[in-house]
Amino acid sequence: MTHSEKHESSRPQAGDSSIHQDFSKEMSYGDYLQLDKILNSQTRLSGHHDEMLFIIIHQASELWMKLILHELEAARSVILQNQLDAAFKMLARVSKIQQQLIQSWDVLSTLTPAEYMEFRSSLGRSSGFQSYQNRLIEFMLGNKQTKVLAVYEHEPELFAQLNEALHAPSLYDASIQALSMRGIEVDPACLQRDWSQEYQENDSVRAAWLTVYQDVERYWDLYELAEKLVDIDSRQQQWRFNHMTTVERVIGFKTGTGGSSGVDYLKRVVAQRYFPELWSLRTVL
C-alpha cells in the first residue's frame, strides 16, 4: 500500500458508523454558529456582483472588532486590578486580530473605481465613519471625541453605551494607574481626571515609563505591558494607513458617503498616536 493510499484509508468514510449524522434533535455546527443568520445577512441593494465583496469585508471587519472589544475590555479590567500577566495574552491576541483587519484592505482594494461606482449610490448616507464598534475601540484606546456621539442620537441604547464608554478610563489610563500602583511617581492629574477628555501627553508619565525601560529586570511586567501597547498602537496606524490608501485608490478625493472629506480626513488622523509617551521616550532613552 502506498503512502497516499494509507493516508486515504485513514480518513473517515461517508458510511463510517462513528460519524454522527442525525441532527434532528441535536445541535449541529451550523446551529451553534447560527450560520442561517450570518450567511443570509448579505443583501445587495444594487444587485451588482461586486457589492457582495463590499458587504462581506465590512461585516467580517465588524466581527473582528467585536472580538477586539471583548479582549480590550477584559485586559483593562485585569490591569486595573494590577494583574498585568493576565492581560498580556489578551493584548497579544488584539494585535493578531488587527493584522487580519489590515490585510482585509488588500482584498477590498481589488474593487476598481468603475465597479464601486456601479453601486455606491445604493449606500445612501451610510459610512464606515458611523461604525459604533470602531468608535468604541477608539474610546478604549483613548481617542475621546464627544462631538461624534451626535451620529448615534437616533439610537438611544447605543448612544447610552457610547456615552458610558466615553466617560470610562481608557486602556492607557488603566496602564498609567498600573505605574502608580507600582510606586512610580505620576502626576495626580493623570490619575484623577475627566475620562471623557482626550488624553494629553504628560512629562511625568514619560518619566515613569522611562524608569521602567531603564530598569527592565525590576519592572519586567510593566515593560511587557508597554511593548504590548506599542504593538497595538503601531498596528492601528497600519490599519488607518491601509484604509486611507484603499479609499484613495477606489474613490480618489471624493467626499465620503457619510459626508466626511474622505481621504483628506483619513490623512489627518493617520499619524495620531494613542500612547504618546511610549513613542517619545524612545528618543531620550
Per the annotation, binding residues for substrate are 54-58, 116, 120, 257
Task: Summarize the annotated binding site for heme as residue ranges.
Answer: 243
Q: What share of the chain is helix, strand, coil (3-state, %, to 5)?
A: 65, 0, 35
Cα–Cα distance for residue pair 107/149, rounded to 1 Å: 30
Q: How far apart are CA 101 and CA 138, in angstroms?
A: 15
- Report the alpha-carbon distance of residue 43 to residue 224 in Å, rounded: 44
Residue type at 218?
R
What residue type is 150 in one-letter code?
A
User: What cell numbers appear for 265 in the block?
Assistant: 480626513
At 106, the amino acid letter reads D
Q: How many Cβ atoms sit within 10 Å of the Cβ of residue 285? A: 9
Please state the residue numbers annotated as binding site: 54-58, 116, 120, 243, 257
C-alpha span between 279 and 281 (Å, rounded): 6
Residues 272, 274: Cα–Cα separation, whole Å: 7
